Amino acid sequence: MHVGLLLLAGLSVASARGPLRRKQQEANIAARASSSNYTYATIQQPIDHFPTKEIYAPHTNDTFAQRYVFDASYYKPGGPVFLYVGGETSLEYRLSNLETGIIQILMNATGGLGVIIENRYYGESYPYIDLSTDHLAYLTNEQTIADFAYFAQHATFDGVNASLTAPSTPWIMYGGSLAGAQTSFTVKTYPDIIYGGIAASQVLNVSVEYPQWYAPIQKYGPSDCVASINDIVDKFDWLVAANNTAAITELKSIFGLESLTDNRDFAKTINYPIGNPFDYPTDTWQELIWTDEESQFWEFCGTVTDIDAPENVTAIDEQMAQYTNGEAWTNLGNYAGYIKDVILPTCPSGRYASGECFGQGNVTYWTKLVDPGTRSYLYTMCYEAGLYQAAPRDGKSLLSRVVTGAYSQEICTMAFPPGEYNSIPSSPNLDLWNGYGGFNFSADRLAFIDGEQDPWLDSCYHSNEAPARYSSDLHPEYLIEVGGHHWDSYGILDIPAEPQFIRQAHYWEIKTVKKWLRNFSSWTPGNSSSTLVR
């Protein structure tokens, strides 16, 4: 029962908000798709897959139309189905995976059919138009992954002369990021239906705060840029600790942001080019992709460290020295100039302190004005995922230490006032997520693939905090040394021409899936050697 209005809102603005919600760089993807062989369809999906579970009371027997799109042009009789999980965005933003990315690669290698399913509460697949707290009760991992299992058992593919439902046809899932976690959860929960899956950058182990997001940038980012930001953050935090309000106000005005009276709003705003809790307007380290060497992140660091900046810009570095024992704020002028030139114009109203711009927002903003996709994503964070970006507790920081998890939790409280039947916990219920296994996660024919330089690495299978990993055909794993956030999902229709670390990862994924498929005829659905943790 979706409605067109919602669809428009979701499509136009839902792409950028949220740290896991990768900014969309592919232009005109929808236009390209219309000229191809893709077939769009919907399936009537039960809103409530758990009619006896207390938390879903008062329950509903209604269904909603869940969208999917498939490409059968590589399909050969007997081939597998590759199910790509759309995750926290609309279908259109994932089409490149069918067209040039990992699903294309696997379809071509195996004669498979590729299908992208749009997650409930995203794109056009909304069970309800009004995203009240009560109506969001059905947006849980458990319901989301039940959709995938139901879909695998009931999907139809118009124009394909075969029934391709699971478990008689091998269904292999793929998901990256949030969808990577959901892929893992599905493969483990439904071993009687889903044959296998590849989970990329799959955020398996969640915590309320996730300061590790900044670790790869701190470690691998351009070191002069990183050092300048670290130093400016230290000096700002020192002024905050000293409660030097005059100096803080002067610093804010250098950035044109004196209207941000809350220090956290200010700290967040000047951190936008690096990355932030819930949203950021420009591409950060997380949005780097190997298929495109351009990035606003490089532009930002280049500007901050410009050694040829004019004198009236470098003079700003001295302006604040009087507050820091005569020590200059190196590159402050360059930094402030970038924020003024690139970030401030993203708020055309000039009302910087409003929720639409750089302020924390209020109940009206978070319940009525924010776009539906952002609201859905936020609900998942507040309800069961956490992962609030925050400053690290030790060592140098790229984000002021005034930004903690509490800042994000305030948004949750504003956005989801208690409903009649449903309310969010005072802190995310991480057990719902980590209960699937956390770093101990294991399921047969579930492959984990991560990137060494991904900001989400420490929440993933290959986290620095996880045990040493060893691969096998049944439990394969791969860490891409030169790899970012689910970098294996991107392709260029020419594997030999890819950069070496991605190329090898793609060959590995092909071999892994082919080995699984060779064993399909001897598979007993539901016979999993892994024990369910929950």
Ligand X SMILES: *[C@@H]1O[C@H](CO)[C@@H](O)[C@H](O)[C@H]1NC(C)=O
Which residues form the catalytic set? Answer: 177, 454
Whether residue 86 contacts residue 39, with contact meaning beta carbons closer than 8 Å, is answered with no
Is residue 161 at the binding interface for ligand X, with CB under 6 A as the rule? yes
State the minimum distance, in angstroms, from the CB of residue 271 to ligand X.
20
Number of residues counted as binding ligand X (CB under 6 A): 42
State the minimum distance, in angstroms, from the CB of residue 303 to ligand X.
12
Is residue 261 at the binding interface for ligand X, with CB under 6 A as the rule? no
Is residue 59 at the binding interface for ligand X, with CB under 6 A as the rule? yes
- Residue 489: which of 104, 52, 197 has the closest Cα? 104
DSSP 346-390: G-TT--TTSTTTTS---HHIIIIIS-HHHHHHHHHIIIII--B--
Is residue 8 at the binding interface for ligand X, with CB under 6 A as the rule? no
Q: How far apart are CA 154 and CA 177, in angstroms?
A: 26
Alpha helices in 86-155 (DSSP H): 96-99, 102-110, 141-154
Is residue 493 at the binding interface for ligand X, with CB under 6 A as the rule? yes
The one among 241, 369, 492, 532 contacting ligand X by CB under 6 A: 369
In the chain, what are the helix, strand and coil shares in percent, each to the nearest 5? 40, 10, 50
State the minimum distance, in angstroms, from the CB of residue 206 to ligand X.
6
Is residue 404 at the binding interface for ligand X, with CB under 6 A as the rule? no
| Closer of 154 and 514 to ligand X (Cβ) | 514
Q: How far apart are CA 46 and CA 21, in angstroms?
A: 26
Is residue 357 at the binding interface for ligand X, with CB under 6 A as the rule? no
State the minimum distance, in angstroms, from the CB of residue 204 to ligand X.
9
The one among 78, 310, 417, 425 contacting ligand X by CB under 6 A: 310
Is residue 249 at the binding interface for ligand X, with CB under 6 A as the rule? no
Is residue 3 at the binding interface for ligand X, with CB under 6 A as the rule? no
Q: What 3-state class would DSSP assign to 251?
A: helix
Is residue 88 at the binding interface for ligand X, with CB under 6 A as the rule? no
Q: How far apart are CA 458 and CA 87, in angstroms?
A: 20
Report, in angstroms and rounded to the nearest whole number, the Rg of the chain calculated over CA atoms: 24
The one among 34, 36, 156, 346 contacting ligand X by CB under 6 A: 36
Q: How far apart are CA 181 and CA 434, in angstroms?
A: 10
* Span of 58-66, 82-90, 268-276, 287-295 interacting with ligand X by CB under 6 A: 58-66
The one among 312, 325, 349, 531 contacting ligand X by CB under 6 A: 312
The one among 7, 240, 313, 353 contacting ligand X by CB under 6 A: 313
Is residue 413 at the binding interface for ligand X, with CB under 6 A as the rule? no
State the minimum distance, in angstroms, from the CB of residue 73 to ligand X.
4
| Closer of 132 and 295 to ligand X (Cβ) | 132
State the minimum distance, in angstroms, from the CB of residue 391 to ligand X.
15
Q: For residue 83, report the phi and psi dihedrals to the nearest 5 degrees.
A: -105, 110
| Closer of 4 and 243 to ligand X (Cβ) | 243
Q: How far apart are CA 132 and CA 61, in angstroms?
A: 19
DSSP H or E stretch at residue 296: helix 296-304
Enter the tokens of residue 208: 């309320």
* Span of 20-28, 129-137, 254-262, 515-523 interacting with ligand X by CB under 6 A: 515-523
Is residue 490 at the binding interface for ligand X, with CB under 6 A as the rule? no
| Closer of 223 and 249 to ligand X (Cβ) | 249
Residue owning tokens 């930094």: 335
The one among 430, 443, 449, 457 contacting ligand X by CB under 6 A: 430
Is residue 205 at the binding interface for ligand X, with CB under 6 A as the rule? yes
Is residue 371 at the binding interface for ligand X, with CB under 6 A as the rule? no
| Closer of 4 and 54 to ligand X (Cβ) | 54
Q: How far apart are CA 226 and CA 215, in angstroms?
A: 11
Q: Which of residues 95-114 bind ligand X (CB under 6 A)?
A: 108-109
- Residue 339: which of 276, 292, 396, 290 has the closest Cα? 276
For the CA atoms of 262, 210, 379, 150, what is the dihedral angle to 10 degrees? 170
Return left, alpha or beta for 275; rule: phi > 0 is left, psi -120 to 50 is alpha, else beta.
left
Instruction: Give, in degrees to the nearest 5, the angle at Cα 295 between 293 and 297.
Output: 130
Q: How far apart are CA 119 and CA 376, in angstroms?
A: 10
What sign has the CA pseudo-torsion 205, 210, 212, 217?
positive
State the minimum distance, in angstroms, from the CB of residue 369 to ligand X.
6
Q: How far apart are CA 197 and CA 101, in angstroms?
A: 16
Q: Which of residues 436-465 bind ligand X (CB under 6 A)?
A: 438, 440, 458-459, 463, 465
State the minimum distance, in angstroms, from the CB of residue 226 to ligand X.
22
Q: Which of residues 228-247 bind ligand X (CB under 6 A)?
A: 243, 245
Is residue 73 at the binding interface for ligand X, with CB under 6 A as the rule? yes
The one among 356, 410, 452, 477 contacting ligand X by CB under 6 A: 356
Is residue 63 at the binding interface for ligand X, with CB under 6 A as the rule? no
Q: What 3-state class would DSSP assign to 125?
A: coil
Residues interacting with ligand X, by CB under 6 A?
Answer: 35-37, 59-61, 73, 108-109, 161, 205, 207, 243, 245, 310, 312-313, 337, 354-356, 362, 364-365, 369, 430, 434, 438, 440, 458-459, 463, 465, 473-474, 493, 515-516, 519, 522, 524, 527
